[in-house]
Structure 1
């Protein structure tokens, strides 16, 4: 058998080592991909771990975070309503926390200018004044007899004067009625959903309360709301 020359052996050796260079390139490429994948996983883990830690430190869970967002939304709603009436200005603080649905409806109607020109159509002295687009006595009818027996405010009663409410279970086609109490009223919460309180202009409420009325408690003179302006602060 003929012996191979050294030069031929060297060339054959190089040919054998050739494939190993491709394998090294493939290994480096795969290593780079794996390194990037591990880096991505590590970064994601640190992000979510840090977020969870912050929530635990602040005492918030996911649901509590959503609740805080809802509270922030409520804080964006106007907190006060300024009634411009033919007798003067009445400022009402809205109870956004205790009566959110009614306050939302009231704010929506104010923004649509639905209360402009509405009449105070029933006045019961030492009880309430009523404004809206209904000409029925409604809730006030239940108060007439009580109003006659309670001609003077009773400071021991639970509910104060100058609270602002709307009837419970009112039919949608009846519109939105507003009652402003002029004296403490027993079992008020059974009749009205209280959604605000007069904080300025109590004397205007009292002036409306003192107008002359007919036998059906309708004012003999026209008293109306000119407009209602919503404000964040007073």
Structure 2
């Protein structure tokens, strides 16, 4: 039997042993991958945390802005007429859209020189800058009807409103009731009530009118002034 030399045995032993450890480059790659994943997760967490804080701050700011804007809305309107002054409390909570529109028209001077074009006793006085498209017969029949009504009806007198009808040209008319009106919500959008100057409203109501309820002597609104306090 041939005898194996010690050098040959050493070579065979090295060939049989497989490398048991992971190479250094592989370890480095693994470390880089883990580092990238950790960095990505941290960046994502930081982004969403910051966004949540900003949204919360924006929500608080918007809420404060809305509250501030609401508090900036005037509470009263002083309507100066050729017969005297009428003070109106605005329903900015109950009718905010109409109140905002009224304020916008007031600030633009829309009501300066506006004539009271219809005066119907025991019904309403109306100020408008455009010719009412409603038939005169309708106004006449309404005036006769409401003059005979009992004053215990559900809607009060001295309420300020505007017509629900859409006006061409962006007009805004004013109605002040002089008696309780049963179907007020069907005809007028109410956005305030007279708290001072009821006597002025009644004086306008008593002016002489023609057969179409137009005042024979012009009565007009001189100016509308907005106030936070009376």
Once the 2 structures are TM-superposed, how far is the Cα of residue 143 of structure 1 from its aligned partner?
5.0
CA RMSD of aligned residues (A): 3.2
Which sits farther off after the overlay, 159-168 or 95-104? 95-104
- Correspondence for 2:85: 89
Compared with structure 1, are the counterparts of its residues 66 and 140 closer, same or farther at alpha carbon in structure 2 (3 Å cutoff)? farther
Which sits farther off after the overlay, 192-201 or 99-108? 99-108
- Correspondence for 1:156: 152
TM-score normalised according to structure 1 size: 0.69
Secondary structure at 2:185 match in 1: helix
Secondary structure at 1:154 match in 2: coil
Kindly report which structure 2 residues correspond to 1:83-122, keeping only aligned pairs within 5 A, or say none. 83-122=79-118
Q: How far apart, in 2, do the equivalents of 1:120 and 1:107 lie?
A: 19
- Correspondence for 1:131: 127
Secondary structure at 2:169 match in 1: helix
Structure 1 unaligned segments of length 5 or more: list them: 1-36, 53-61
- Correspondence for 2:219: 223
Q: Answer yes or no: is the 8 Å Cα contact 2:79–2:221 preserved in 1.
A: yes
Once the 2 structures are TM-superposed, how far is the Cα of residue 155 of structure 1 from its aligned partner?
3.2
Q: Answer yes or no: is the 8 Å Cα contact 2:115–2:127 preserved in 1.
A: yes
- Correspondence for 1:193: 189
TM-score normalised according to structure 2 size: 0.70
- Correspondence for 1:146: 142
- Correspondence for 2:6: none
| Partner residue of 1:206 out of 197, 202, 209 | 202
Once the 2 structures are TM-superposed, how far is the Cα of residue 82 of structure 1 from its aligned partner?
0.3
Secondary structure at 2:105 match in 1: helix
Q: Deviations over 1:111-170 (max 9, x none)?
A: 111111111111000000000102226398645323313325533211100001111132
Q: How far apart, in 1, do the equivalents of 2:87 and 2:75 lie?
A: 11
Q: Answer yes or no: is the 8 Å Cα contact 2:136–2:212 preserved in 1.
A: no
Q: How far apart, in 1, do the equivalents of 2:135 and 2:185 lie?
A: 12
Secondary structure at 1:173 match in 2: coil
Secondary structure at 1:70 match in 2: helix
Q: Deviations over 1:27-71 (max 9, x none)?
A: xxxxxxxxxx9xxx8xx89xx6xxx9xxxxxxxxx9798556424
Q: Answer yes or no: is the 8 Å Cα contact 2:115–2:219 preserved in 1.
A: yes
Q: How far apart, in 2, do the equivalents of 1:215 and 1:185 lie?
A: 22
